Amino acid sequence: MELRELSPAQARERVAHGAIFIDVREEHERAQGQAEGALGIAKGELLAEPARHLPDASREIVIICQRGGRSLEAARALQALGYEHLVSVTGGTTRWVDEGLPTVVPQLDPQAADFYERYSRHLLLPEVGIAGQRRLQQSRVLMIGAGGLGSPAGFYLAAAGIGHLRVADDDVVDRSNLQRQILHTEARIGQAKVSSAQATLAGLNPGVQVEAVQERVTSDNVERLLEGVDVVLDGADNFPVRYLLNDACVKLGKPLVYGAVQRFEGQVSVFDAGRHRGEAPCYRCLFPEPPPPQFAPNCAEAGVLGVLPGVVGLLQATEVIKLLLGAGEPLRGRLLHFDALGMRFRETRLRADPHCVVCAPGQAFPGYIDYQKFCAVGA
């Protein structure tokens, strides 16, 4: 028997004459509004237990979704199970609204309503959905630095709904920061960067817990800072901290999302050797020894295009979210270079060093070293 498809107005008339009306969209879709009179039962839930929801197979059933595809699929599945009178609404809820037919907004508790509305675009992505967004909500990320890289990364991690964002930085806001460190404002000059970041991100998404740690990262506190986190984002601007973070992440099995900027160029990678020894490289596999200071000036010495940390920090935030979701292909074993002047990306393949002093298979952790001396800071 061929399934009937009716316009929203025709479907509404059938419902007025006693047909059962079911909206098979997910709850987060219905939270924005649904056709008046429809019962909200997600397609998967309906087809898992049709007899519980529709005990009378002889009743006329009108099914609606967002645009008409899922409702037609649900109707066909129910027809195969012996239901006799099925109607799918052509154009779905979108057309229903366009034609000015009445809608209602389901009553939800405030937290659920905020969740569905705030993350509605994420929830539409099959790679995220409800389960993925809940995973982000339960995640904990450590962000080292609330400066050029941490500013854009922090904005988008908070906006994405990371549940707990620990931000560590011992610096205070300076006017020279404002050209690129967009977490901060003129009014906060002299304030601790972590406090400024906490205020900004709380204003963006009050559901995210931002833990401000006004400390310089050292061998004495690095493991405490990494405790309980799922991913570490490296927004540091100096080699001693980069090597320290790398070694701690290898030891504790934490993925490290690396980023660096200088003048008009940036780099991004994911170092995950602690969880993938012998397969994924660590930072030391790429740079066994730091370059001499004269060949690696910092931003204060060499300058940096203000928008460049924005590009690199956003790429880092993207990698953090992918790692937390288990989605896509992370930059593990790949170094992404960005040339802002040429507007070009290029990629370098990285291999794990079988003789790496930190991450080689079977290599015992050598302990933390004097990273300042190792990097010859001030030499």
Cα 250 off chain centre by: 23
pLDDT of residue 378: 42
212-218-221 Cα angle (round to 5)? 60
> Angle at CA 23, nearest 5°, toward 17 and 26?
170
- Per-residue pLDDT band at 3 (split at 50, 70, 90): confident
State percent of the chain over pLDDT 70.
96
The CATH homologous superfamily of the domain defined by 139-374: NAD(P)-binding Rossmann-like Domain (3.40.50.720)
Q: How confident is the model at residue 373 (pLDDT cuts 50, 70, 90)?
A: confident
pLDDT tens by residue, 166-220:
999 999 999 999 999 999 999 999 999 999 999 999 999 999 999 999 999 999 9
| Predicted local confidence at residue 130, as pLDDT | 92
Q: What is the pLDDT of residue 218?
A: 95
Categorize the per-residue pLDDT at 377 as very low, low, confident or very high, splitting at 50, 70 and 90: low
For CATH 3.40.250.10, the residue range(s) in the chain are 4-107
Question: How is the beta sheet containing 265-271 ordered, strand by strand?
Answer: 209-213, 164-168, 140-144, 231-234, 256-262, 265-271, 334-339, 344-349
pTM for the full model? Answer: 0.86
Per-residue model confidence (pLDDT) at position 216:
95
- In the chain, pLDDT over 90 holds for what percent of residues? 87
CATH of 4-107, one of 3.40.50.1100, 3.40.250.10, 3.40.630.40, 3.20.190.10: 3.40.250.10
Q: Residues 259, 270: contact at Cβ < 8 Å?
A: no
pLDDT at 109: 87
Q: Which residues are catalytically annotated?
A: 299
Cα–Cα distance list, 118 to 75, 106, 130, 131 (Å): 31, 16, 12, 15
> What digits encode the pLDDT tens for the residues 302-334?
789 999 999 999 999 999 999 999 999 999 999
